[in-house]
Amino acid sequence: MERKQSWYNVLFVICVVLLINSIPFALFIKDPLLLNVLEISKRVAALVTFVILSKKEKLDNPKTEKIGKKTFLFVPFVLAFVSNFVVCLVNNETMFEHVNYTNIIFGFINMFLVAMVEELVFRHLLLNEFMKNNSKKFTAILYSSLIFGGIHLLNIGGLGDIPYCLLQSVYTFFLGLLFAYSYICLKNIFVPIAMHFLFNFLNDVLVVEFFNINYNLNFFLINIGIGLLLCVYGFILYKKVLKED
């Protein structure tokens, strides 16, 4: 009964925070400046709500243990965060002459807040709850990552969005594995937050602002190739490090 109540409390906080974080301002706000301000405001509201409800429901605090030498084992994954820059290099894309630095600043703030909200929800709350209910770490990582990937299907706003959202759901599932793995291994929520932020900011905001990236065959081959390479490395890392712990 106590475990059920714990799940109810966690799911309640997750649903409220994600609901605030998912308000679709872009559907009815066209002014870029106002939209950016509203997007940042809703992320801040989601974070404040998370803190208030977590205290009210007496949920566990995020883990923030001292970062040790194991952190360096995750450095190769930085390659995934700059994969689109590799695409631009291979495609010999030309940089834009005029860069909108306002968008970059807003993008930096927004992506950092997105990373904080989603990692607190999916890695701290959801993964932690799965860990309490299942002694197998891999099962907890898998379940939380499947939900993390699946939740991105809600971004579908029309038939034209289906292919993109399916693709997004797949790669966010694999990112979820990485973020969850790093959180369990290093026991510090700021590690997956940093990785999540770097992926979103470098591979999305900066690339779009600096290059007219072409989503051609090279784009898919390079990203899939890097993804497979890092999956192999991640599997070896899991077998050698996490299972020993």
Q: Residues 109-126: pLDDT tens digits?
A: 999 999 999 999 999 999
Task: Evaluate if residue 5 carries a pLDDT over 70.
Answer: no
Beta pairing partners, 95: 211
**Confidence band for 238, pLDDT divided at 50, 70 and 90:** confident
Contacts of residue 164, Cβ cutoff 8 Å, sequence gap at least 6: none
Tell me how long the chain is. 245
More confident residue, 242 or 139: 139
Rounded to the nearest 10 degrees, what angle do helices 217-237 and 162-186 cross at? 20
Tens-place pLDDT, residues 150-165: 888 877 665 556 777 8
Percent of the chain clearing pLDDT 90 (strictly above): 61
Element of type H or E holding 29: none
Confidence (pLDDT) at 160: 55
- What per-residue confidence (pLDDT) applies to 243? 61
Tokens 């990552």 appear where? 145
* Residue range 140-151: mean pLDDT, rounded: 92
Integer CA distances (angstroms), 14 to 7, 121, 125, 137, 172, in order: 10, 6, 8, 21, 18
What per-residue confidence (pLDDT) applies to 214? 84
Q: What is the pLDDT of residue 1?
A: 55
pLDDT confidence of residue 63: 92
Choice among 21-25, 65-69, 131-135, 160-164 with the minimum mean pLDDT? 160-164
Rounded (5°) CA angle 103-109-112: 130
Whether pLDDT at 74 is above 90: yes
Average pLDDT of the chain? 89
Mean pLDDT for the stretch of residues 238-243: 73
Which of 65-69, 76-80, 118-122, 226-230 is predicted least confidently?
65-69
Residue 138: pLDDT band (50, 70, 90) is: confident
User: What φ, ψ does residue 188 adopt, rounded to 5°?
Assistant: -145, 115
pLDDT over 80 (residue 87): yes
User: Contact, 32 vs 100, CB < 8 A?
Assistant: no
